[in-house]
Amino acid sequence: MHRSHTCGELRASHIGQTVTLSGWVQRSRDKGGLLWIDLRDRYGITQLFLEEGKSDAKVMEQARTLGREFVIKATGKVVERFSKNDQMATGDIEIFVEQLELLNASKTPPFTIEDESDGGDDLRMQWRYLDLRRNPLKNNLVLRHKIGIEARKYLDSLSFLEIETPYLIKSTPEGARDFVVPSRMNPGQFYALPQSPQTFKQILMVGGYDRYYQIVRCFRDEDLRADRQPEFTQIDCEMAFVEQEDILNTFEGLVKHLFKTVKGIDIPSVPRMTYDEAMRRFGSDKPDIRFGMEFQDLTTAMQGQGFAIFDQAEAVLGIVAAGCAHYTRKQVDELTEWVKRPQIGAKGLVCCMCNEDGTFKSSVDKFYSQDVWQKIAAQAGAKAGDLILILSGATDATRKQLSELRLLMGGRLGLRNPEEFKPLWVVDFPLVEWNEEAGRWFAMHHPFTAPKPDHFDLLETSPGDARANAYDFVLNGVEIGGGSIRIHDRKIQSRMFDLLGFSPEEAQHQFGFLLNAFEYGAPPHGGIAFGFDRLCALFGGADNIRDFIAFPKNNSGRDVMIDAPSTIDQKQMDELYIATQPINE
């Protein structure tokens, strides 16, 4: 027997029992004739104790040879601890060791296996199994497991069926770049790994499985960021015989269930905001509504006073940073530099201090009298002691820039507490958006999204104004879910492909299977997918999804532990009809 209990299990009520524990040596302390070993496993830490004279001399000697991360099995009696540790679940007891068995030795780990490790990211990724032994990662994976289980419980209770869809599918030109897999049996042909099971779940609806879900891996060959991985997991769902309202209610229910069961938090009903309103009030389709600092349209108020930059701008937009009138010249300069960075791209920033004495001070006072500022401040809702931050330019670009500045200021003012959760539905997304570079319309969500029924005609006249029954679930400024009501009519789907620049032949070649399915009784349907990794990170109060995935890739898309991707040998290449030699050999 390797263990009678885990290292997180023993309490005062076990005192007097003889137990066997197995685990890893977290640390040991040798003080004269007394020796303590902290033994760790997934469940916790238990203190082992030996004493010269009392313990068997051989066992004592053996215990002294144990290094960090050695794997051992210890048998002994549970005794009351002399100095109790109320920080530890097992802190009331220790084990007086009678027998020790070394199960495996360990090299000295390249970083400390502590909650705060001294290991850098690269090192921790390379020795991921050591990193996984640390509490923060373990807790994240436990959290992930819980969220997965609770999602399944909720969906199962509503008769959703978990159905797997294939990983080797067909490459499609829409969306992100595909990862492709050469087919040995079909020379010169490739599968693609799914960016999502979108078309399959729709086909399942045609197949009669009216409530589907899957916690499923998806693959997108995109540039990576903190919240992106080349393979990531979605809670992917689809329902038939539903309208948008049914989907919003069902999945609001899912998120509420998760908050309740995993975090013990009651989420009140989730507010809704149209895309247009979100853009107008926050300059973002995923506004962080934990704080206000809403956009103020100052275009009319600020134009016509002789300040050419504002006069020529399509939009002059401001936000009010409460209590920031004391900002120094240096702080304002720093903010100005920040908005001028290429990532933000603003040309400049106008700041106006609303001084406590009722006066106003800005860098453009030459053009704006105190009276005008008074009016602007009143319109913007700025009080004495506040700072008004103003950007100008083309509407879309200015909104984007000001949205970034709003998030920055919200963070600086401590308004973005990770323990506070403010979900939001953003609804009525545009159906398509114009891509200047490609010179054509692109689907804003995906090509299977249905226009609002009364917007069909706009496809012919002004597609950019057409709105879709498409929705995003946003939590604290992060998009964690998105979906839509789908097209289920072949003619409308063909019209959509046409709008997106597919010839009828191309549409048939790429999506013939779906178009054909629509001719055999496709029910009205719609769905949504939640980013499971992001959801886990948010529940865990973190930005980076990496530490919520057991084996993530680094920023260059590499798994540095197994060293992938890697070259393959010529024989494999030949079998796959890949002619060229690997570049780096």
Task: Indicate the residue among 319 and 528 with the shorter CB distance to ligand ASP.
Answer: 528
Closer CB to ligand ASP, residue 90 or residue 449? 449
CA distances from 253 to 158, 247, 260, 423 (A): 11, 10, 10, 12
**β partners of residue 24:** 40, 71
Q: Which is nearer to ligand ASP, 258 or 528 (CB)?
A: 528
Closest approach of Cβ 528 to ligand ASP, in Å? 5
Nearer to ligand ASP, 24 or 471 (CB): 471
Number of residues that bind ligand ASP (CB under 6 A): 8
Residue 13 Cβ vs ligand ASP, minimum distance, rounded to whole Å:
50
Cα–Cα dist 294/475, whole Å: 17
* Contact status: 119 vs ligand ASP (CB under 6 A): no
Q: Cβ 565 to ligand ASP, closest distance in Å? A: 24
Give the tokens for residue 241.
């015989």
Examine residue 545 and tell whether it contacts ligand ASP (CB under 6 A): no
Nearer to ligand ASP, 197 or 318 (CB): 197
| Region from 16-24, 140-148, 347-355, 476-484 binding ligand ASP, contact rule CB under 6 A | 476-484
283 counts as binding ligand ASP under rule CB under 6 A = no
Q: Shortest gap between Cβ of 544 and ligand ASP (angstroms)? A: 21
Transcribe 113-148 into DSSP letters: -SSS-S--HHHHHHTHHHHTTSHHHHHHHHHHHHHH
Task: Give pairs for 83-87: CB < 8 Å, separation 24+.
Answer: none
d(CA 384, CA 358): 6
* Token pair listed for 238: 């689809």
Query: Considering beta carbons, is residue 244 or 484 the nearer one to ligand ASP?
Result: 484
Q: Which stretch binds ligand ASP (CB under 6 A): 57-65, 308-316, 356-364, 480-488?
A: 480-488
Distance, CA of 467 to CA of 450 (rounded, Å) = 9
Residues numbered 196-235 forming contacts with ligand ASP, rule: CB under 6 A: 196, 198
Cβ count near 139 (within 10 Å): 13
Query: Which segments of 427-549 does DSSP mark as H helices, in order?
Result: 458-461, 490-499, 504-517, 532-539
Q: How far is the CB of 198 from ligand ASP (least distance, A)?
A: 4
Q: Is 483 in the site for ligand ASP (CB under 6 A)?
A: yes
| Cα distance between the two ends of the chain | 50
**Minimum separation from the CB atom of position 147 to ligand ASP (A):** 18
| 482 contacts ligand ASP (rule: CB under 6 A) | yes
User: Helix-strand-coil percent breakdown of the chain, rounded to 5?
Assistant: 30, 25, 45
User: Min. distance of Cβ 488 from ligand ASP in angstroms?
Assistant: 14
Q: Which is nearer to ligand ASP, 154 or 213 (CB)?
A: 213
CB 62 within 8 A of CB 26: no
| φ and ψ of 299, to 5 deg | -55, -55
Question: Chain centroid to CA 511: how far?
Answer: 30
Q: How far apart are CA 373 and CA 361, in angstroms?
A: 9
In the complex, minimum distance from the CB of residue 196 to ligand ASP, in angstroms, rounded to a whole number: 3
Directed axis angle between helix 244-258 and helix 135-157, to 10°?
A: 140
Minimal distance, residue 238 CB to ligand ASP, in Å: 7
Nearer to ligand ASP, 22 or 233 (CB): 233
Instruction: State which residue, 213 or 368, has the beta carbon closest to ligand ASP.
Output: 213
Q: Which helix (H) or strand (E) holds 18?
A: strand 18-31
What does the H/E/C string look like for 382-394?
CCCCCEEEEEEEC
- Binding status of residue 484 toward ligand ASP by CB under 6 A: yes
Q: In this complex, which beta carbon is closest to ligand ASP, that of residue 230 or of residue 527?
A: 527
Residues within window 491-530 making contact with ligand ASP, judged by CB under 6 A: 527-529
Closest distance of CB 135 from ligand ASP, Å? 33
- Which amino acid makes up residue 331? Q
Q: Which among 33-41, 73-81, 177-185, 481-489 is the span making contact with ligand ASP, rule CB under 6 A?
A: 481-489
Which CB, 14 or 201, lies closer to ligand ASP? 201
Of 529 and 560, which has the nearer Cβ to ligand ASP? Answer: 529
Q: Is 485 exposed, middle or buried (0-12, 13-18, 19+ CB in 10 A)?
A: buried
Binding flags for ligand ASP, 179-198, as an x/- string (CB under 6 A): -----------------x-x
Smallest distance from ligand ASP to CB 454, Å: 22
**Smallest Cα–Cα separation from 59: which of 82, 76, 71?**
76
Q: Which stretch binds ligand ASP (CB under 6 A): 398-406, 411-419, 478-486, 561-569?
A: 478-486
Q: Does 389 bind ligand ASP (CB under 6 A)?
A: no
Q: Which is nearer to ligand ASP, 109 or 527 (CB)?
A: 527
Instruction: Give CA torsion, residues 135, 137, 140, 144, to 10 deg.
Output: -130
Least gap, CB of 142 to ligand ASP (angstroms): 26
Closest approach of ligand ASP to the CB of residue 252, in Å: 15
Nearest to 64 by CA among 52, 75, 80: 52
> In angstroms, rounded to a whole number, what is the distance separating the alpha carbons of residues 133 and 455?
55
Interface contacts to ligand ASP, rule CB under 6 A: 196, 198, 482-484, 527-529
